[in-house]
Amino acid sequence: MKSVGQFLNRGWVPNAVKKDLDRAKASVYRLKITLMGLRPPVWRRVLMSGDVSLARLHWVIQ
């Protein structure tokens, strides 16, 4: 199976993938990140775009 990145690098994106990407770009997710095992609780609230990659989300959390 080909990844979306392969299509994006060529400048061509299948219609079904394009619709999913457009929907994801319009989505914003609110995440609450809590460090476990600490008192008082230490947490941050983060707003992330729906088209963010898992690698980028990992970077934000770190």
Query: What total number of domains does the chain contain?
Result: 1
3-state DSSP assignment of residue 42: strand
pLDDT at 5: 55
Taking CB atoms within 8 Å and a gap of at least 24, the contacts of 26-33 are 26/50, 27/51, 33/61
Instruction: List all residues 6 or more positions away from 56 whose beta carbon is below 8 Å from its beta carbon.
Output: none
Look up the pTM and report it: 0.53
Q: What pLDDT tens digit does each residue of the chain (62 aa) get?
A: 445 555 555 566 677 777 766 776 677 889 999 999 999 999 999 888 887 888 988 998 88
Residue among 53, 47, 49 nearest 33 (CA): 47
In the chain, the amino acid numbered 36 is: M
pLDDT at 4: 53
- Full domain range(s) for residue 20: 4-61
Spatial distance between the Cα atoms of 43 and 36, rounded to a whole number of angstroms: 9
